[in-house]
Homo-oligomer: A and B are copies of this chain.
Amino acid sequence: MNIDGTHFRTIWLSDDGWSVEVIDQTLLPHVFEVMRLTTVAEAAAAISTMVVRGAPLIGATAAYGMALAMHEDASDQALAAAYTALLATRPTAVNLRWALDDMQTRLGAVAEDRRRELAYARAAEICDDDVATCQGIGRHGGALIKDAYDRKGGKDVVNVLTHCNAGWLATVDWGTALAPIYTAHNAGIPVHVWVDETRPRNQGAALTAYELGSHGVPHTVIVDNAGGHLMQHGMVDMCITGTDRTTAHGDVCNKIGTYLKALAAHDNNVPFYVGLPHSTIDWTLGDGVAGIPIEQRDGTEVSHISGVTDGGAGATVRLVPKGAAVGNYAFDVTPARLVTGLITERGVCPASRDGLVGLYPEQAASAA
């Protein structure tokens, strides 16, 4: 999408034809800076320090990390070492392992002297595939926003609430939850986005607000507590969030707090949609609340917060009494009964086994 009128992806090949450039997301929203990656070690560090984040972008960066490794040394040993180093960065990320397995299988199957070229070609393809997937989500979800606009008489702004960042910064371009919003906005439909700040890591206040603002989409940052009140008063036409993992029954594991918004949407007859590429679907899992273990992260993400002072300097402050006990649950599970529909690259379906298998009939045998 655009940053002040210039089109960017989150990752791209440098003009030199071999090194890779990414947006340094650790500095957003306060500083926009491009980081150049020249070795597999730098690619691994970019993933582990969250210079790049979001499952699809992590996968794309890992693929280019393999290409950087092959650029330097295309031996079997180097291939294995690159795989190991990149996998260790974020061991639980599904797309990371998928991209690495894909690259390793393809590269291992060809002679050393063909690996470098193949690696760059496949990494580029993985990026393009992600963009196409997100555009598909955008097309199908954008139609839902268009419908809402038409239902409002074709003149009022459509208000969409989102939680966390499932935008283009989490993918290669377009995003998942935000792709429908960009699609509608680009088509001239007036959209306004309520942006949950998304404590504790504030991906909404930092990243979602940044990318919507940079592309020119009207939006308002609110605390995570506010959405229920807005929905009670007819100020939200639909919710669209992303998902880290979707069960075969349509339960959605996403950033902590998603469940609370889905409850409020249900209580106020506000449609609650989830945008997802098929890669987040775990076909082996049925009940997400019982079956998905929830990661607990470092308490300092809750007790401390970072931003910039009026002088522009970065600073981190403590918010709680010294030594206070802190809990930090990273995700929650929204039961399928609260989800109006799943927006995938193949279309919109009910959040249910039948709905998902209807869109992905090839998974009927494996679906829990």
Contact = CB atoms under 8 A, between A and B. Distances in A.
Contact of A318 (B259, B310, B324, B329): B310
A225 B317 contact: no
A79 interface: no
B329 A307 contact: no
A271 B101 CA distance: 48
B318 A307 contact: yes
B257 A264 contact: no
A79 to B, nearest CB: 40
Contact of A256 (B209, B223, B264, B329): B223
Interface stretch (A13-21, A87-95, A228-236, A277-285): A228-236
A263 interface: yes
Interface in A11-43: 29-30
A186 interface: no
Contact of A321 (B213, B229, B302): B213
A340 B352 CA distance: 32
Contacts of A319: 197, 202, 205-206, 305, 307
B309 A221 contact: no
Contact of A199 (B199, B264, B318): B199
B302 A305 contact: no
A232 B202 CA distance: 23
Interface string A96-112: 00000000000000000
* Chain A at the B interface: SS class: mixed
Nearest to A211: B321
B224 A320 contact: no
A84 interface: no
Interface in A51-97: none
A86 to B, nearest CB: 31
Contacts of A316: 309-310, 317
Interface in A162-189: none
A229 B326 contact: no
Nearest to A306: B317
Nearest to A257: B225
B209 A294 contact: no
A132 interface: no
A222 B329 contact: yes
A223 B296 CA distance: 13
B320 A229 contact: no
Interface string A325-354: 111110111000000000000000000000
Contact of A317 (B29, B267, B317): B317
B228 A332 contact: yes
A161 to B, nearest CB: 11
B289 A321 contact: no
Given A197-B199, A224-B224, A305-B307, A232 B259 contact: yes
Contacts of A323: 213
Given A200-B223, A221-B326, A232-B289, 14 more contacts: A30-B322, A197-B319, A197-B320, A205-B320, A220-B325, A221-B303, A222-B327, A228-B332, A229-B294, A230-B329, A305-B305, A308-B317, A309-B316, A316-B317
29 contacts: A30-B318, A197-B199, A199-B224, A206-B320, A209-B321, A213-B321, A221-B302, A221-B303, A221-B320, A221-B324, A223-B302, A224-B224, A226-B257, A226-B329, A226-B332, A228-B263, A228-B332, A229-B259, A229-B333, A232-B333, A259-B264, A260-B261, A260-B263, A263-B263, A305-B305, A305-B307, A307-B318, A309-B318, A310-B316
